[in-house]
Each structure stands twice: as C-alpha cells, then as structure tokens.
Amino acid sequence: MPYETSWLVEKRVVYTRMYGFVSGEELKTQNREMVAFIEQSEQLLHTINDATDTTGTDMGLRDLQQTQFTNVDNLGWAIYISPSKMNRFFASVITQLSKKRGRQFATLEEGLRFLQEMDETLPPLSVPEPSNVTQNKVTL
C-alpha cells in the first residue's frame, strides 16, 4: 500500500492518500507515523484518510479498530473517503466502536465541505494536488 501523508492545513488537518492493496502491517506502519503529526498539533487535529484508490485489504474489523487513536485528547473529526459503500460502512462501525467523531464520504470534495462546515476556524480547504506516489512518503 503506497501512501502519502502530509499536512493539508499545518498542525490542524492531516491528509493521507492510500493506493493499491492495504495490508495490515502497512496500515500499522502508517498509523505509527501519524503519531508524529499528532504530537505536532497544538489545536484540534482533524484527519482525512482518502482510500479512493485502494483495491482491497487483508484486515478484519478488529484489526482496523486497533488502528484508531482512541487516547488522543485533541483529535477532531476523522474523515474517511471511499467510493465503496461497504468500506464506508465498516469505517462507520469502527468510528462508533472507538467513540470518536467520524464521517464517511464517497468523494474528497464532500468530506472537505463537511469538515469546513464543522470547524469554521479552518482556512478554506481545497483538494490537494495529486502526486505519483510509488512508495511510502511522509511530509512533516
């Protein structure tokens, strides 16, 4: 699973775009890297996970639940993007089990619009430029 994680809004909104097949080990690695972003955040931190270009996973519901940041006090909205209704359903279940604020959308534009409405302190949000990610990349 190649992925790219970077600030969409410095220290406020983290954007992760995932591609290809999502293995449990790769998702856990990406999750550990997210800790660096969480530690830099000084205000409410929102996350956007864009799975538009993923092709599948080998993880079960319990595995996915373990990737949630349930002990982060300043975690704001967790936005999950996927055109797959099934993936959005599982993301919804996981969010409910972790008792965190989360929403699922079919498109990134819908997710950005929702986040902008929920947190009026954010600057105007726009869709990040696509990049040709061929390996894992983290930008802090």
**Whole-prediction pTM:** 0.84
Compute the distance between CA of residue 22 and CA of residue 55 in angstroms, rounded to an integer. 8
Grade residue 74 by pLDDT with cuts at 50, 70 and 90.
confident
Q: What is the pLDDT of residue 132?
A: 45
Beta strands across the sheet bearing 13-22:
102-105, 75-81, 45-57, 13-22, 3-9, 137-138
Structural domain count of the chain: 1
Compute the distance between CA of residue 58 and CA of residue 25 in angstroms, rounded to an integer. 10
pLDDT in tens, 44-58: 999 999 999 999 888
pLDDT in tens, 93-124: 888 877 788 999 999 999 999 999 999 999 99
Q: Is the pLDDT of residue 130 over 70?
A: no
Compute the distance between CA of residue 140 and CA of residue 125 in angstroms, rounded to an integer. 18
Q: What is the pLDDT of residue 133?
A: 40
For residue 55, what is the domain's CATH number? 3.40.50.10600
Q: Is the pLDDT of residue 137 over 60?
A: no
Cβ proximity of 36 and 69 under 8 Å:
no
Domain that holds residue 21: 3-138
Backbone angles phi, psi at 27, to 5 degrees: -65, -40
